[in-house]
C-alpha cells in the first residue's frame, strides 16, 4: 500500500523556521509533487524508498530535464527527507546516498569591446533618457554589477572623489565597485539632469524611469532591448552579459582571477573560474587567426 505524502507541515517549517520565500517554497512544491506522482504511478511507498528506486527516478527525470533541474529536484527531496528524520518519522535519509549530477559546462555569453562601442554610439544622448541610458550601459560594463545591484544604487552610495560606488550584493553583502573615466563622465552628465527626470518626487535611487520612479530590473532589460533594436546588431545581450563581458575583458587584459572574484562579489573562486574558459577560447581564436601556418 502506498502511503499518502502530505507536505503542509514541511512547507510551514520552511516558511516559519527556515525563513524561505514563497517563491522558493513554490519550487519545492513543484519538485515534491513531481516525485509524489512518480511514486504513486510506480506503487512505491515513500517511507520505504530504496537506493535503486532513487536511481530509477533520476533516470526518469533525465528524459525531460537538464542536470541543473534534476539536482534541484533531488535537493528538494533530500531536504524533505531531512525534515522527516527531524520529526522522527524515519531514521535515516535515503537521499544522502545520492550525489548530484555533474553540471553542464556552459560558457557565459559575452560581447567584445568593439561591439560594445558600436552599440554605445547608437544611443541618442540628446535626450535626458538617452543620457540616462548611456550611463546605465557604462556602469554595467565598468563595474560588473548585477542588474539588481545597479537598480538599488542610491545617491549616498556614490563617491565620485574616490571613483567608488557601494553596492549591496547577494546575501546583503556590501562591496565596493570602481568607476573608470568614461563611466565617471557619463555618471556626472546623468546626475546633472537627474532632477529633471525626478519630477519633484522624493526618492534617492540613482536610476529613474520616465515617471520619476526608481527604475526596475525589467525596465533595465527593456532599455537594453530597445537600444539593441536601434543599433541593428544581431547580438543577444541581457544585463548579465555586461557582467560576463566585464570579467572576460579584465582576464584578457591580464587581470588575475582573485581580483576578478573580488570585483564580481563571488564567494567562491570556482564560480569565477568559468571565465578562464572564455578567456582561453579567445586566446585560441587569436592564435588560429594570426598563426601563419594555419
- Per annotation, catalytic residue among 132, 134, 146, 244: 146
For residue 109, give the 3-state DSSP assignment: coil
- Other beta carbons less than 10 A from residue 168's beta carbon: 16
- Within 8 A by CB and 6+ apart from 142, the residues are 178, 179, 180, 182, 183, 246
Q: How many CA atoms lie within 13 A of 67 on its CB side?
A: 8
3-state SS assignment for residue 204: coil
Catalytic residue among 66, 72, 175, 266: 266
Task: Select which of 72, 112, 184, 240 is catalytic.
Answer: 240
- Residue 18: helix, strand or coil by DSSP? coil
Does the annotation mark 194 as catalytic?
Answer: no
134 catalytically annotated:
no
Order of all β-strands in the sheet with 164-168:
158-159, 164-168, 174-178
Q: For this structure, is 243 an active site residue?
A: yes
Question: Which residues are 167's β-sheet partners?
Answer: 175
Check if 170 is active-site: yes
Is 3 marked active-site? no
Query: What's the rounded Cα separation, in Å, for the pair 74 and 131?
Result: 47
Q: Where are the alpha helices (DSSP H) in the chain?
A: 8-16, 22-41, 51-62, 67-86, 113-121, 128-143, 147-151, 181-198, 217-231, 239-252, 257-264, 269-272, 274-290
Cβ proximity of 159 and 165 under 8 Å: yes
Catalytic residue chosen out of the listed positions 132, 134, 243, 244: 243
Distance CA 90, CA 81 (A): 8
Active-site residue, from 18, 62, 106, 170 = 170
Look up 289 and say whether it is catalytic. Answer: no
Active-site amino acid positions:
146, 170, 240, 243, 266, 275
Amino acid at each position: 500500500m502506498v502511503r499518502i505524502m502530505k507536505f503542509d507541515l514541511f512547507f510551514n517549517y520552511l516558511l516559519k523556521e527556515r525563513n524561505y520565500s514563497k517563491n522558493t517554497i513554490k519550487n519545492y512544491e513543484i519538485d515534491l509533487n513531481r516525485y509524489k506522482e512518480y511514486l504513486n504511478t510506480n506503487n512505491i511507498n515513500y517511507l520505504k524508498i530504496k537506493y535503486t528506486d532513487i536511481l530509477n527516478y533520476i533516470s526518469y527525470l533525465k528524459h525531460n530535464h537538464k542536470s541543473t533541474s534534476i539536482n534541484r529536484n533531488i535537493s528538494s527531496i533530500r531536504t524533505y527527507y531531512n525534515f522527516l528524520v527531524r520529526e522522527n518519522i524515519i531514521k535515516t535519509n535515503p537521499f544522502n546516498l545520492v550525489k548530484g549530477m555533474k553540471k553542464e559546462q556552459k560558457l557565459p555569453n559575452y560581447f567584445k569591446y568593439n561591439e560594445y562601442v558600436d552599440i554605445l554610439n547608437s544611443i541618442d544622448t540628446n535626450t535626458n533618457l538617452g543620457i540616462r541610458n548611456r550611463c546605465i550601459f557604462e556602469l554595467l560594463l565598468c563595474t560588473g554589477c548585477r542588474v539588481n545591484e545597479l537598480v538599488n544604487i542610491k545617491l549616498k552610495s556614490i563617491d565620485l572623489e574616490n571613483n567608488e560606488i557601494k553596492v549591496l550584493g547577494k546575501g546583503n553583502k556590501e562591496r565596493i565597485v570602481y568607476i573608470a573615466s568614461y563611466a565617471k563622465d557619463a555618471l556626472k552628465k546623468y546626475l546633472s539632469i537627474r532632477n529633471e527626470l525626478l519630477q519633484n518626487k522624493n526618492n534617492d535611487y540613482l536610476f529613474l524611469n520616465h515617471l520619476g520612479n526608481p527604475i526596475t530590473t525589467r525596465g533595465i532589460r527593456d532599455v537594453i532591448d530597445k537600444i539593441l533594436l536601434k543599433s541593428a546588431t544581431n547580438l543577444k545581450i541581457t544585463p548579465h552579459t555586461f557582467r560576463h563581458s566585464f570579467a572576460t575583458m579584465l582576464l584578457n587584459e591580464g587581470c588575475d582571477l582573485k581580483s576578478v572574484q573580488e570585483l564580481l562579489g563571488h564567494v567562491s573562486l570556482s564560480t569565477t573560474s568559468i571565465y578562464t574558459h572564455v578567456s582561453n577560447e579567445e586566446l585560441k581564436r587569436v592564435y588560429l587567426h594570426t598563426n601563419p601556418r594555419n
